[in-house]
Structure 1
Amino acid sequence: MRIAIFTDTFHPDINGVARTLKHFTTYLDDQNIVYKVFAPDSHSNEYVSTHIRRFKSFSFFLYPECRLAFPNLFRIKSELQQFSPDIIHVATPFNIGLCGIYLAKKLNIPLVGSYHTDFDYYLQFYDLQFLSKILWKYMNWFHRPCKKLFVPSNETLKQLKQQGFANLEIWSGGVDCQHFHPFYDKKTVREQYGLSKKYLLTYVGRLAPEKDLKTLLAVAKTLPSEINEQIHWLIIGDGPQRDELQNEAPENMIFTGFLKGEQLAEFYSASDLFVFPSPTETFGNVVLEALASGTPAITANSGGVKNIIQTGVTGYLCEPGNVQEFVIAILLLLENHSLRKQLGLEGRNYALTQSWNNIFANLLWHYSKVIDEPKIQKYA
């Protein structure tokens, strides 16, 4: 099987789409499956591969980590014909994605797509709700040629069905449980970074309006002072709201910027709770990473996160934006060590069932079905 992937974001970009695709291409390398990625250039030149064709680009205003590229269509067509893929996978609905759809039609190559980002929900955080109908019309038009459209959760599948999308299949996220685990030396991690207070509460993600970090700040300020004095908040990530949030944040809140690798995994493991108020997730990769690290998650009861968190088993789901519900859940778990430990164990057990290898093997099976479909029709 030869796979061409068209995406407007890829490693080393830091977002869910880029990270998922990097896991996928690593899997393809391990399986000796030939692929080629067409993607925009990156802020960083740390990752170079002969499997990737990069294009000059600029940031998209709603999602700066997703870039709008300036691809040369004739050059891509020539490269694609030379590569001769069995299937094209379009992962994002911007310029590179449009090239993938056009060339799949032009060269009669089987086409699949994936839907990763709830841009419609994003609109309300940027006061652009009036664009909702136009956005859905575009998304429907963009994805209509796909023989299959992969979505990361049942919640997203329901949402797209209501909007008239067809050929939907679940392609959920996974987690590397050998990298994210509860067995890092928590005491050493805390000492190394001067985290001396009793509890460590962590958020990981973009610092942007659609993540509803205003609710997180309100929660931190609403907790009783006698508890707050025992808490260190760790805000891991970066984005357009960082300066504003830092100016408004309480003194016990530390902003680290983006972290990755073992350092990120250590912080997950050392944390007592993972607090994630974002209502806009189609899946919630960081939530699954927290569970793999044995850290219970308190999240917004919205989007794909609802399919990961089971209230009272692996964490707690709170009404989006409801500060009091988040506060109650945090206090319940901080004051009940045995419950917190039990939720951590259950979260780890759940994460162990979410293997990337199984998820990608299932995706390749769907690819094979799409590739074989014209042959079956021909001989039917």
Structure 2
Amino acid sequence: MDVSDLRVALFTGNYNYVRDGANQALNRLVARLLSRGAAVRIYSPTVAKPAFPATGDLIGVPAVPIPGRAEYRFPLGIGPRKRADMRRFAPNIVHVASPDILGHAALSVARRRNLPVVASVHTRFETYPRYYGLAFLEPVVEALLRRFYRRCDAIFAPSESMAQVLREQRMSFDVGIWSRGVERDIFTPDRRDPAWRQSLGLRDDVPVIGFVGRLVMEKGLDVFSDAIDHVTARGVPHQVLIVGEGPAREWFAQRLPEAVFAGFQMGADLGRAVASMDMLFNPSVTETFGNVTLEAMAAGVPVVAARATGSENLVQDGVTGRLVRPGAIDRFADALTAYCTDEAARAAAGAAGRRVSERYGWDQVNDALIAAYLRVVRARAAGGRPPVRSRRPDRL
């Protein structure tokens, strides 16, 4: 079997209606598949004004706004007409990108038709409850995820650290890596723009601590703001630049009234914003890769990040940035203070990060996943099947 023989049905809860790292990675994957002659059909919720044009043939599925997060859509399943469309398309592999109702429905249809299924893991959903005062639900969410992923032929994490977490959680017997790339023509030190900084009220002679991402609590906004308070209390000169939008923007702005909010940025504008920072602070523990971390490194910006999945495979502690135990406010403040007060250290870490980022190209990482598609399809054709689900889904 060759790549041109692949017929991929991709199911995801968000393909292009809200921009994030996960759906941009999926669009780049589809573009690579199409460029190599494969056929692809995408099934996902759609909206009248998506965040960006979809790559490939996108089929809308029924969905409703998520309460409290209306910008996101909750898919309600496939439905008879979409199932008929899927039959006509006749995929030979199914890729599910979110363990929601749509993903479960796609998995069930695939199992009935004896189609191989792969799943990509884009976020640590089991960690979300802790940000909403529901930490006791984490074991329940983890068990539900385990039940879902074990029905797949293989699952793919974006980093080795996340893959190891999935193995330790006993999510699957077959855990592979689908890494992420970076657009080095956009994220480069050459995009640094002192005039743009000045237009926002950011001084040339004061180091800027940056945040990039959706403004939601699960990105660690509380940890970020607490650490900034500690840096301020130490009398360390600094300014804060926030790049992104989201439902927690008002809370964040009240929490950090001196910060500069640049809003949502994309493309060359995002590259300029990242390169114009002096360091990136990424305290999130929900990431499975950390696209913003890699983008900052490509822009020659040192990174202070939580020692968590994703970032710990990108950041070399003491070389390209600093890794800090999640939630350790004083330690985060120590790392930020060190970079704020040592321009040479910032420059050295940024240059080292730039060199590391050169290992990550989109074509290479997507070709690796496509090769895994072919392996899974061949294994199923040879009679292989995912393990039968036991009566105790929490145990292997």
Tell me the TM-score normalised to structure 1 length.
0.92
Instruction: Tell me whether 1:215 sits opposite 2:220 in the alignment.
Output: no
The residue number in structure 2 matching 1:174 is 181
The residue number in structure 2 matching 1:37 is 42
Q: Which moved more, 1:312-321 or 1:194-203?
A: 194-203
In structure 2, distance between residues paired with 1:26 and 1:158:
29
In structure 2, distance between residues paired with 1:320 and 1:8:
28
In structure 2, distance between residues paired with 1:218 and 1:226:
13
Q: Secondary structure at the match of 1:303?
A: coil
Distance 1:168 1:63, change over 3 A: farther
Code of the residue aligned with 1:202 in structure 2: it is G
What are the ranges of 5 or more consecutive residues in structure 1 without an aligned counterpart?
none
Distance 1:317 1:97, change over 3 A: same
Code of the residue aligned with 2:154 in structure 1: it is K
The residue number in structure 1 matching 2:212 is 204
8 Å contact from structure 1 (residues 221, 250) kept in 2: no
Superposition deviation, residue 197 in structure 1: 4.6
Match of 2:170 among 150, 153, 164: 164
CA deviations over 1:137-195 (Å, ceiling 9, x no partner) = 22122112211111122222222222222211111222111221111242233234442
CA deviations over 1:41-67 (Å, ceiling 9, x no partner) = 137245256600112423445876652
Code of the residue aligned with 1:237 in structure 2: it is G
Code of the residue aligned with 2:121 in structure 1: it is Y
8 Å contact from structure 1 (residues 113, 149) kept in 2: yes
The residue number in structure 1 matching 2:336 is 330
The residue number in structure 2 matching 1:191 is 198
In structure 1, distance between residues paired with 2:189 and 2:164:
34
Structure 1 segment 101-140 matched on structure 2, within 5 A: 101-140=107-146
CA deviations over 1:214-261 (Å, ceiling 9, x no partner) = 221122222256865x4331111222321112112132x012332211
Instruction: Compute the RMSD of aligned alpha carbons.
Output: 2.1
Structure 1 segment 46-85 matched on structure 2, within 5 A: 46-47=52-53, 51-60=57-66, 66-85=72-91
The residue number in structure 1 matching 2:250 is 243
Match of 1:354 among 350, 360, 365: 360
Code of the residue aligned with 1:140 in structure 2: it is R
Percent identical across equivalent pairs? 28
Superposition deviation, residue 334 in structure 1: 2.2
The residue number in structure 2 matching 1:143 is 149
Q: Which moved more, 1:93-102 or 1:286-295?
A: 93-102
In structure 1, distance between residues paired with 2:77 and 2:89:
17
Superposition deviation, residue 366 in structure 1: 0.5
Q: Secondary structure at the match of 1:108?
A: coil
Superposition deviation, residue 129 in structure 1: 2.2
In structure 1, distance between residues paired with 2:232 and 2:133:
33
Superposition deviation, residue 348 in structure 1: 0.9
Distance 1:282 1:226, change over 3 A: closer
Code of the residue aligned with 2:18 in structure 1: it is D
Code of the residue aligned with 2:10 in structure 1: it is I
Code of the residue aligned with 1:114 in structure 2: it is S
What are the ranges of 5 or more consecutive residues in structure 2 without an aligned counterpart?
1-5, 385-396
Code of the residue aligned with 2:212 in structure 1: it is V
Match of 1:86 among 74, 89, 92: 92
Superposition deviation, residue 33 in structure 1: 2.5
8 Å contact from structure 2 (residues 300, 350) kept in 1: yes
Count of residue pairs brought into register by the alignment: 376
8 Å contact from structure 2 (residues 78, 102) kept in 1: no
Distance 1:196 1:240, change over 3 A: same
Code of the residue aligned with 1:213 in structure 2: it is L
CA deviations over 1:24-52 (Å, ceiling 9, x no partner) = 12222333432111001137245256600
Q: Which moved more, 1:316-325 or 1:61-70?
A: 61-70
The residue number in structure 2 matching 1:283 is 289
8 Å contact from structure 1 (residues 13, 42) kept in 2: no
In structure 2, distance between residues paired with 1:225 and 1:159:
36
Distance 1:139 1:328, change over 3 A: same
Instruction: Tell me whether 1:310 sits opposite 2:316 in the alignment.
Output: yes
Distance 1:312 1:43, change over 3 A: farther
Instruction: Tell me whether 1:370 sits opposite 2:371 in the alignment.
Output: no
In structure 1, distance between residues paired with 2:69 and 2:296:
24
Q: Secondary structure at the match of 1:116?
A: coil
CA deviations over 1:91-135 (Å, ceiling 9, x no partner) = 101122122102211222211111121111111111222322321
Distance 1:190 1:59, change over 3 A: same
Q: Secondary structure at the match of 1:234?
A: strand
In structure 2, distance between residues paired with 1:53 and 1:97:
15
